[in-house]
């Protein structure tokens, strides 16, 4: 299934392919503050429909994850990083996807705050 996503103002638009099974709610300092619900997919499944120059990026701690957000409206749409095997992954904030029923999702809690 193809899902369309965007920030609030539409400056960042993308599609991501796949079936949303489980999403992750992390309690690390940034995810807790932003209220992310993350769906992890191979980076190749996410296709950006706006120029990369529209993205603002924030990194912290180990600087391994690029947290992308819109510099205009502030919405945190997705992040990028490598998994343990080195494969590039996207962490898509499902709250930015059109038509996703958040209440129907299986949510896995991850203790990123203790790492």
| d(C-alpha 106, C-alpha 10), whole Å | 27
| Segment 12-33, tens digit of pLDDT | 999 999 999 899 999 988 889 9
Residues 87-107, mean pLDDT to the nearest whole number = 96
Residue 63: give its domain's CATH number. 2.170.150.70
- Count of domains forming the chain: 1
Q: Is 76 helix (H, G, I), strand (E, B) or coil?
A: strand
Cα–Cα nearest to 16, from 6, 28, 2: 2
pLDDT above 70: percentage of residues in the chain: 100
Tokens of 89: 């992954």
| d(C-alpha 27, C-alpha 50), whole Å | 30
Q: Supply the mean pLDDT for the chain.
A: 95
pLDDT band at residue 61, thresholds of 50, 70 and 90? confident
Q: pTM of the predicted model, to two decimals?
A: 0.92
pLDDT of residue 114: 87
| d(C-alpha 9, C-alpha 22), whole Å | 27
By residue range, what is the domain housing residue 42?
2-114
């Amino acid at each position: 299934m193809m899902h369309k996503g965007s920030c609030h103002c539409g400056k960042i638009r993308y599609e991501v392919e796949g079936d949303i099974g489980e999403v992750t709610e992390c309690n690390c300092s940034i995810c807790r503050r932003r209220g992310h619900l993350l769906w992890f997919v191979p980076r190749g499944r996410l296709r950006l429909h706006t120029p990369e120059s529209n993205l603002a990026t924030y990194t912290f701690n180990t600087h391994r994850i690029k947290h992308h957000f819109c510099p205009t409206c502030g919405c945190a749409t997705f992040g990028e990083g490598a998994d343990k095997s080195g494969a590039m992954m996207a962490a898509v904030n499902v709250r930015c996807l059109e038509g996703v029923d958040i209440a129907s999702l299986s949510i896995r809690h991850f203790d990123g705050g203790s790492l």
